[in-house]
Structure 1
Amino acid sequence: MSSTQRAPGAPFGASVEAGSFRVTRPQSAGDVMGWLRQHDVQIVDLKFTDLPGLWQHFSITLPEVHPDLFSAGIGFDGSSIRGFQEIHESDMLLRPDPSTAFIDPVCGTPTLSMICDVVDPVLQRPYSRDPRYVAKKAENYLRQTGIATTCYFGPELEFFIFDSIRFGQDQHSGFYCVESAEGDWTTGRDEGAYGGGNLGYKARYKEGYFPVPPQDTLQEIRSEIALTLQQAGVQVEVHHHEVATAGQNEIDMRFATLTRMADNVMIYKYICKNVARRHGKVATFMPKPLFADNASGMHCHQSLWNDDVNLFYDAHGWALTSEACRWYIGGLLQHAPALMAFCAPSTNSYKRLVPGYEAPVNLAMSQRNRSAAARIPMYSDSPKARRVEFRCPDPSANAYLAFAAMLMAGIDGIENKIDPGPPLDRNIYDLPPEEAKNIRQVPGSLEASLAALEDDRAFLLKGEVFTEDIVETWIDYKRKHEIDPVKLRPHPWEFYLYFDI
């Protein structure tokens, strides 16, 4: 919910310094080889992202690490990765990106982790379904248009930390059960493990924003996550408890260029999950795990720059924004139904995108107003701080694809000078019905978003950033593996509604 984005600083490579934060990064294969000796590394871990957005990995020993690894790559079975190859074309390659190397703070054995690009060994070129390749192409296309040299992203990922989670479904039963000592529903529970009685201080529904300990029981875990992220080279600005009861959190990273920030999102999720597990708890980026309370979003701050000039700033424009900024917003709002297929890509996402839970369902532009899909933060009047916050995405998204899709929508908005409509600086949820009916809203289901993507994809295909193949594969995967299985299974609430009919 908060973001204190500052002006762009040093790139991720070389040295990054802000206050006491300083990490020196390798930039070449030779630098990585030096790191192996400097840090007494014993294992090298190679990470890459499957199509839905989950990190995959395997590890190699030091004798297998040599300069040719970064050019020739190393083989793996692409047919075992979700959304990748068929079994008759399974051989694929990984090429590590040396600029992503970090000493892995999760591992007890001295381990150097690198994020890899996926390569088709037959064609000897980047694999078209590699999400990271799509993000890179989006950045390259932006430069080719001449609109800007750089796109910065600053996502705010919210997530829950629970004490435990149990779930299951078979042919004759189904359930889930969330346990959290912070949950408002635990006020009557005997917490004997802590000496008997109940410790109280439970966050009431929708009242979890900013309480201090002991109500906020996760302060130390979030601090550990933040410091562990910095060990991995990801700069953290702020952390806090979020609105929902039962352990909703937010840790904000400093913004970065598009692909680098998507890399950072993957590191963020990895470290959040592993630090929580270290404490006997579980972290989830599922958008809506709790009924009747706020869900987790991934509000995405974004701006376009020519070198060190912010193209979204105009001292005389509405909310200090330029025409280019407003056209960019116009592109986001115009293409939002299709964007949701990548930005809110789970069936669970649409249990978040409903009125009443600070959810940005209304496709309108505003300043300060969190009920609009596109918001201009007004914390600072500095030219370097001017940006748009697109509030519809959630953390179940594959960041590489979601960020790339948003940039492509914004570029289309600028190229076609798409009018975002007049700003709505009132609480949109409280508008009278005759006004509210004229405001477009995000789709109400993943199925509707995929249908919108089928009809509105031309903006994604420009410059071959997205290909027909990856769009079709995404739609087919989501329908076969997510929408249809959910449709087929009885829902517990259906028993309440219909069992006695």
Structure 2
Amino acid sequence: MSRWTDKLPEAAKEYIGNRRVDEVECVIGDIAGVARGKAMPAAKFAKQTNYFLPNSIFLQTITGEWADSPFDAFTEPDMILEPDWSTATAAPWTADITLQVIHDAKDQEGNYVPFAPRNVLRRIIGLYAERGLTPVVAPEMEFFLTARNLDPNQPVIPPMGRTGRRAAGKQAYSLSAIDEYGRVIDDIYDFAEAQGLEIDGILQEGGAGQIELNLAHGDPLRLADEVFFFKRLIREAALRHDCFATFMAKPIADEPGSAMHIHTSIVDSKTGKNIFAGPKGVETEAFNHYIAGMQNHMGAAIALIAPYVNSYRRYVPDFAAPINLEWGRDNRTTGLRVPISAPAARRIENRLPGMDCNPYLGIAATLACGLLGLIEKKPARPEFSGSAYIDSDEIPVSLGEALDLLDEDEALKEIMGVDFIRCYDSVKRNEYKEFLQVISPWEREHLLLNV
């Protein structure tokens, strides 16, 4: 085994065994969370310590277009991409022995590129570390399995199950429902095991063909990497069985949307104790301030956790999605939920992010709002009792409005990184402009001959 393979995590070494690695995919996530990079023969990878990509990849929109540069004299300089060996993992769906390695983006002076999403999250974690704090997160991934959709003009429909019937909705937590596409689930488990990724649980959600996959709590950067890997893994497992996996926030009309709920607790780095729990388990001021930070800044952060025009179709009353910034204990109608737990495991669940968000940015935005609360030390609003499925003017109703709110929140822009926000804003406004040029079937049906 060559020297570079000695740096691999144990799961990757076990996957390789005594076989020869054929190919290595050098991967970096762009603004959308799309995997970009280069694939190369393993023999070539073994001889390189880094490779180069233009930093303009962070100005590419989801449609493949290029946003206007927010920087003067933009010349598309090369970034230096260095492998993070701790992320090396198998690509078990390939025909040969292939590894994936996430790379860090640095400029030519060796500084982290500020508008790379993984670096944005690393920056936020560093700001916690400066205060002697360690954030701990646990994401929940919701997604739909669907029939193959080859014509974008046709609606998305549920997949065919093993009984020969289409997957049915309104079957939350049904084991029979999830068994309908058990072969896809089996491959998800097998791929995850080969990649050394831990699944905390899989269950049927409320939508037709909708699944929730939970990840165990841990380091935010590692968990964001895992969500990044899981998205690709799940898509590949679905394709093996003639269906699609989609992480759109609202792929099917009249079905619930897909969220990426993010559970967060904060630990004192020296003592290892949860700062949300005081003597005898009482809720601390830090707990209250953290919630206040979420209430005061999450409205502006919606642009980061609901990044597409489709994202706002999920924020609909009585469709299992929060449309508010209220908080409550064990209350799933509030945007900020405090689950039942022992004091040492006390955490705050952010139920607002959509599964379509970039996992690095969804986690970074959540942590950034909470950190601003710890800094500002403002009180949270009183706990909300009862159903919070009510109209709220705190949640923007469109991507354009969300971007305007983000632009107005100077504190959030500063903590996320001003250069990153400028880059992100340019990409998203370009996407929004493209969307507004599309005429929908609804417009043709109701306006063509009636107005």
TM-score by length of 2: 0.89
Do residues 239 (structure 1) and 197 (structure 2) align? no
Correspondence list, 1:57-76, <5 A: 57-66=37-46, 69=49, 73-76=50-53
Do residues 179 (structure 1) and 172 (structure 2) align? no
Residues 457, 108 of structure 1: CA spacing in aligned structure 2 closer, same or farther, 3 A cutoff?
Answer: farther
3-state SS in 1 of match to 2:154? strand
Offset, 1:402: 2.0
> What is the root-mean-square deviation of aligned Cα atoms in Å?
2.6
Correspondence list, 1:192-207, <5 A: 199-200=164-165, 203-204=168-169, 207=170
Whole-Å separation in 1 of the counterparts to 2:410 and 2:242: 44
Residues 87, 42 of structure 1: CA spacing in aligned structure 2 closer, same or farther, 3 A cutoff?
Answer: farther
From 248, 254, 277, give the equivalent of 2:216. Answer: 254
Q: Which residue of 2 aligns with 1:10?
A: none
The 8 Å contact of residues 326 and 334 in structure 2, kept in 1 or not, is answered as: yes
Residues 339, 490 of structure 1: CA spacing in aligned structure 2 closer, same or farther, 3 A cutoff?
Answer: same
Correspondence list, 1:22-41, <5 A: 30-32=6-8, 35=13, 39-41=19-21
Q: Which residue of 1 aligns with 2:110?
A: 124
Correspondence list, 1:64-463, <5 A: 64-66=44-46, 69=49, 73-79=50-56, 82-83=59-60, 88-121=75-108, 123-146=109-132, 148=133, 150-168=134-152, 175-181=153-159, 199-200=164-165, 203-204=168-169, 207-213=170-176, 216-245=179-208, 247-307=209-269, 308-314=272-278, 321-378=283-340, 380=341, 382-429=342-389, 440-462=393-415
Offset, 1:329: 1.2
Do residues 491 (structure 1) and 440 (structure 2) align? yes
3-state SS in 2 of match to 1:138? helix
Residues 278, 153 of structure 1: CA spacing in aligned structure 2 closer, same or farther, 3 A cutoff?
Answer: same
From 406, 412, 417, give the equivalent of 1:467. Answer: 417
- Could you list the per-position Cα deviations for residues 218-270 of structure 1 after superposition, in whole angstroms to 9, with x for gaps in the alignment? 2331232133213212210110111012x111111112211111101101101
Residues 350, 387 of structure 1: CA spacing in aligned structure 2 closer, same or farther, 3 A cutoff?
Answer: same
Whole-Å separation in 2 of the counterparts to 1:214 and 1:336: 35
The 8 Å contact of residues 222 and 251 in structure 1, kept in 2 or not, is answered as: no
Residues 133, 67 of structure 1: CA spacing in aligned structure 2 closer, same or farther, 3 A cutoff?
Answer: farther
Out of 153-162 and 60-69, give the one that drifted further.
60-69
Offset, 1:60: 1.9
Whole-Å separation in 1 of the counterparts to 2:435 and 2:235: 25
Offset, 1:200: 5.0
Q: Percent identity?
A: 28
3-state SS in 2 of match to 1:263? helix
Structure 1 unmatched ranges of 5 or more: 1-27, 169-174, 184-193, 430-435
Residues 53, 200 of structure 1: CA spacing in aligned structure 2 closer, same or farther, 3 A cutoff?
Answer: closer
How many residue pairs align between the two structures? 432
Whole-Å separation in 2 of the counterparts to 1:202 and 1:50: 33
TM-score by length of 1: 0.80
Whole-Å separation in 1 of the counterparts to 2:166 and 2:238: 21
The 8 Å contact of residues 182 and 215 in structure 1, kept in 2 or not, is answered as: no
Q: Which residue of 2 aligns with 1:171?
A: none
The 8 Å contact of residues 409 and 460 in structure 1, kept in 2 or not, is answered as: no
Residue identity opposite 2:220 in structure 1: L
Offset, 1:212: 2.8
Whole-Å separation in 2 of the counterparts to 1:412 and 1:327: 9
Whole-Å separation in 2 of the counterparts to 1:33 and 1:360: 39
More strand by share: 1
Offset, 1:386: 1.1
Whole-Å separation in 1 of the counterparts to 2:167 and 2:84: 45
Tell me: higher relative CO, structure 1 or 2? Use CA pairs within 8 A at least 6 residues apart: 2
Offset, 1:40: 2.7
Residue identity opposite 1:127 in structure 2: V
Offset, 1:395: 1.2
Residue identity opposite 1:101 in structure 2: A
- Could you list the per-position Cα deviations for residues 142-172 of structure 1 after superposition, in whole angstroms to 9, with x for gaps in the alignment? 11123x1x1111111100111211334xxxx
Offset, 1:325: 1.7
3-state SS in 2 of match to 1:153? strand
